[in-house]
Amino acid sequence: MRQPSVSNVPSTAVEKIVAFLDQRVGLKEIQAKMLNEPIPGGSRWAYVFGSILLFLFIMQAITGVLLMFYYVPTADHAYASTQYIIHEVDYGWFLLGYHFWGSSAMAVCVVAHMSQVFLWGAYKPPRELLWIVGLALFGIVIGFGFTGYLLPWDQRAYWATTVGVEILDKTPILGDFMARFLKGGPTPGQLTLSRFFVIHVMILPAALMALAGLHLYLFRVAAPAGPFRGTPEEIKAKTDYFFPRQVWKDIVGMAVVFAAICGLAFWEPVVLLEEATPDPGEYHPEPEWYFLFYFQLLRLKMFSGEFGQFMGAVALPVIFMGLLVALPFFDRDPERNIFKRPVALISWIAMMAIMAIFTVSAVINREFLD
């Protein structure tokens, strides 16, 4: 059994309980290890996104479990039970709205977190595995968004899934199998809903917890990268521990994100369209806003025809992710200062510009469809 790390004799009841637990669990040592991590160059607002993502995930898990108290994943009840949550259950609209906007917040924070790591050159050796596990987590977040979108079983849900799975179907050789495997048949239906539900509430959460744990572990092994400029003496002089300054910044960031999600849930509540059916009526299918740029991209003439579609639907995302995975291996230059890495800086700006331009043009395009 471990010795208590603090030797003063406990006097009050609370202190005795804490001492009892500490002796058996090693609480104080765990707490000290968690909080006393040196952050080279000191805490920064730019570092808050990882913690915010962890917070967002916990909140998604909590609201998700609460939604499952009423939600029924069957083609004949999914829509009705979701409407019941929105219109009948006290604060159901809020919890559903929180879960819905929380997923958007997650997409935003994932991009912010990845951008920060990219701009700071923090993916470079010895943090290659940390970066790659992060990319896997990025894929999981996308998977969450995609599978969760089907569950309300309204027209928006149905069509986003129909088109999304068709994109997967364009994979050479395996595409047809993967699409049918995911749909549980040739077209979306009950079995698709069951599969997406299991993936969304069991498989992805388990995968995310495992990989996020690995991500944090690798982060702790590699230690934070710190700022991209400054002499070792300057960095050492500004170094502080994770607690309290960084924890303070993190919690402020979480509070801001929390308030934003609550605000959106309140002012932009989730409104379902008609129940899902293979005839969309007057509805113009569209994916969730953070996929809009890609949706717009697939409208380009260069991605037309069978080969063009393969390029747009399969080759482009695979090459993009492949480049990100390979990044720390071909970018061997130890220089981390983004202002001395013109290719990296220009690529990042170009990527953000493409996403912004295509998202905006998708929104503008809406007007011309009616």
Q: Closest distance between another protein and the C-beta of residue 102, in Å? A: 27
Q: Does 42 bind another protein (CB under 8 A)?
A: no
Q: Closest distance between another protein and the C-beta of residue 88, in Å? A: 23
Which residues inside 189-208 make contact with another protein, applying CB under 8 A? 189-191
- Listed residue (70, 64, 65) closest to 88, CA to CA: 70
Within the chain, how many helices (H) and strands (E) appear? Answer: 16, 2
Which segment (72-80, 94-102, 140-148, 243-251) binds another protein by CB under 8 A? Answer: 72-80
> Could you say which of 285, 325, 348, 361 contacts another protein (CB under 8 A)?
285
Q: Does 169 bind another protein (CB under 8 A)?
A: yes
Go through 293-306 and write b for each residue having 16 or more CB atoms within 10 A of its CB, e for each that does not: bbbbbbeeeebeee
Q: Does 299 bind another protein (CB under 8 A)?
A: yes
Number of residues that bind another protein (CB under 8 A): 61
Q: Does 116 bind another protein (CB under 8 A)?
A: no
Whole-number Å distance between alpha carbons of 300 and 319: 18
| Closest to another protein by CB, 32 or 354 | 32
Q: Closest distance between another protein and the C-beta of residue 258, in Å? A: 27
- Answer whether 264's CB lies under 8 Å from 97's CB: yes
345 HSE (CA, 13 A, CB side): 8
CA 61 to chain centre: 13
- Tell me 6's DSSP state: S
Q: Does 159 bind another protein (CB under 8 A)?
A: yes
Helix (H) or strand (E) holding 144: helix 128-150
- What lies within 8 Å, CB to CB, of 368 at 6+ separation is none
Q: Does 213 bind another protein (CB under 8 A)?
A: no
Residues of this chain that interact with another protein (CB under 8 A) are: 5, 29, 32-34, 36-38, 40, 74-76, 159, 162-163, 166-167, 169-170, 176-177, 180-181, 183-187, 189-191, 220-223, 232, 236, 239, 241, 277-280, 284-286, 295, 298-301, 303-306, 308-309, 312-313, 365, 369
